[in-house]
Structure 1
């Protein structure tokens, strides 16, 4: 198995995020990816390789060009105002306000394009997030080229980023970019399975009106959990996409037996869809010790989870998302991959 990884992930190293009314050190930090890399290497789970250059126009296959231009220039505009600290938004739009016009000022644009104060833009953000996107797209290319499985060790993560918004530690939607790349390479149908603890609201928004992509997400119920405003079971798609969005919200305290039941339901829907390829948004923040999550999966749950996903028998790209119990993240990721490889060989 090829594992795609870029050292440039470390260029995204925010100082603080807003948590419970306080500015605290960012949970999404470079050490996360380093722990995963070390664990995959120590368990001899694949061959590491650098990403290919980012294909021209690839980002705009998913993201709005104005949003991309904002992200690319945000730090320069922020620092030109004499600010040396991380760029965070000032306020957000609410019902009854206008959504169709982006302000001219950098503060206004930060507020226009973001949905939280936990995703700081720094001097290295654009380089890191475009490198992360290249990691995902390289993995998609490997799967499109015949690999039964590839691992894109993306950081920053991506599944909260939408067509024209960022948040939840995510700027560009790596998994969605990979899905589109697989479609562009000839796959008629692609399933996107999101097992991160938090709902992939960005992924849902991107594919909600499409019938060539099935989105299946298991996550903490948005009635109590971030990102709060998407992820309910009655969100099933719209227009051509009706019936191609399956949300499986679960209560706080969910352990492996109930999680497995929901996962098997989601996998059955994917089998019915009969995709040509599967992309997995692999978040490991379902772990019982994760500091910002409320599920109770054990390390021993992840080999079985990996085996169940591999049982789909489809070419699969694993795309790294969340997981913030840093000391356990690498081992849990390795165990998922081990379980997957036991099935696919």
Structure 2
């Protein structure tokens, strides 16, 4: 299996986020890259850099106003007397209206859903090349590869069309799925991250041309809180094209695999030609977020189950945070897929 990664993705080095009213070290650290690269190579992947496909595939899903914000906000923020090193909003509109503030502070509140997506000097460049990594992975599938792995960091599945959140700025999995769709392939997104892929759901919620499926810890008491319930099925043309499978906190291998079987049957019913797997490894029992209890061997079972679809798969990295087993969990997921796929 080929893996994609660009060294410019190191440039995003977030310092802070807030949880439970406390300012804490941000867990989406660049060190994740070393662990994931090692894990992909242990799974037999050869790593290559992406080509630059330009802004077009990104702008197909993200508003130009938002892309301009991401590219310029840190420079503008630093002009504010006494501003911190990172763009972190201190105000959010209760309901985003047609009004758009000129102020950098106001725009930060408009385009950043929470305090877990700080923007610093290298954030835009890293996010751009993370998206290009996913695009290059999609292009490998279009060219005939049966599977590929995109080491997309920063991750993407909490990013809406004009809204960052939860460590995410550009929705890499969604961008890849749209790239595949435009090429003539019928694409489904399968999100196995511990957190609901709310941005991915939002981007495709009124569309019937991409199926979105997410397995995640029940959001009643877990991030992202406001999205991810089973009754959220889509709207308009997209009604019935979104499937959420919220799981009780602490769900372990067997029950996770049972829910995954439901997800895979829906993907088959959709008639997908290709599957984009939003590969969160934070469902791991030892992950710092402690939402679910999948084991390292459980990830191999997940990979093998996905291989049972017998469709090309692009694995796009989402969550999975610093713990001793992070790289091993990636090796297990990719290895389980490859062993079952033959």
Alpha-carbon contact 1:54-1:130 (below 8 Å) kept: no
- 1:255-288 CA distances to partner (integer Å, 9 max, x unpaired)? 1111111000000111111111110000000001
Q: Which residue of 2 aligns with 1:332?
A: 329
**RMSD of aligned alpha carbons:** 1.1
Aligned position for 2:244: 247
Aligned equivalent of 1:275? 272
Matches within 5 A, 1:173-322: 173-187=171-185, 189-322=186-319
Find the counterpart in structure 1 of residue 47 from structure 2. Answer: 48
1:98: how far off?
4.6
Q: Cα offset for 1:132?
A: 0.1
Kindly provide the CA deviation profile for residues 183-234 of structure 1, in whole angstroms up to 9, marking residues without a partner as x.
Answer: 11111x2110000000000000000111111101000111111001110100
The yes-or-no answer on 1:29 pairing with 2:29 is yes
Q: Deviation at 1:45?
A: 1.5
Contact in 1 for aligned 2:153/2:317 (Cα 8 Å) = yes
Paired residue for 2:16? Answer: 16
1:204 and 1:245 in contact (8 A); partners too? yes
* Structure 2: tracts of 5 or more residues without a match: none
Deviations 1:293-316 (A, max 9, x none): 321111110111100011111111
Tell me, in whole angstroms, the C-alpha distance in 2 between the residues paired with 1:340 and 1:44: 10
Distance 2:171 2:99 in 1: 23
CA separation of 1:212/1:65 partners in 2, compared to 1, >3 Å: closer, same or farther? same
Matched residue SS, 1:318: strand
**Hey, what's the Cα distance between the residues in 2 that align with 1:234 and 1:171?**
26
Specify every segment of 5 or more residues in structure 1 that has no aligned partner in the other structure, as ranges.
none
Q: CA deviation at 1:60?
A: 1.0
Distance 2:310 2:43 in 1: 23
Following superposition, the deviation at residue 44 of structure 1 comes to 4.9
Give per-residue Cα distances to partners, 1:1-51, cap 9 Å, x unaligned. 11001111111001111122111111001011210101222x251111001
Instruction: Report the Cα distance in structure 1 between the residues aligned to 2:192 and 2:98, rounded to whole angstroms.
Output: 32
Distance in 1 separating the partners of 2:241 and 2:39: 35
TM-score using structure 2 length:
0.97
Counterpart secondary structure, 2:107: helix
Instruction: Give the structure 1 partner of residue 118 of structure 2.
Output: 120
Classify the secondary structure of the residue corresponding to 1:331: helix
Report the Cα distance in structure 1 between the residues aligned to 2:164 and 2:96, rounded to whole angstroms: 18
Residue number in structure 2 paired with 1:4: 4
Q: Is 1:154–2:152 an aligned residue pair?
A: yes
> d(CA) in 2 for partners of 1:56 and 1:296?
38
Shift of 1:55: 2.5
CA distance in 1, matches of 2:176, 2:250: 32
Normalising by structure 1, we get a TM-score of 0.97
In 1, Cα distance between the equivalents of 2:177 and 2:236? 20
User: How many residues matched?
Assistant: 341
1:59 aligns to what SS in structure 2? helix
| C-alpha contact 2:43 2:331 (8 A) present in aligned 1 | no
Q: Deviations over 1:44-96 (max 9, x none)?
A: 511110011132412110001101111111111011224351110011122xx
Q: How does 1:76-95 map to 2 (within 5 A)?
A: 76-82=75-81, 83-94=83-94
- Report if the CA contact (8 A) 2:58-2:175 is conserved: yes
CA distance in 2, matches of 1:342, 1:317: 16
The match for 2:97 is: 99
1:65 aligns to what? Answer: 64
2:35 counterpart SS class: helix
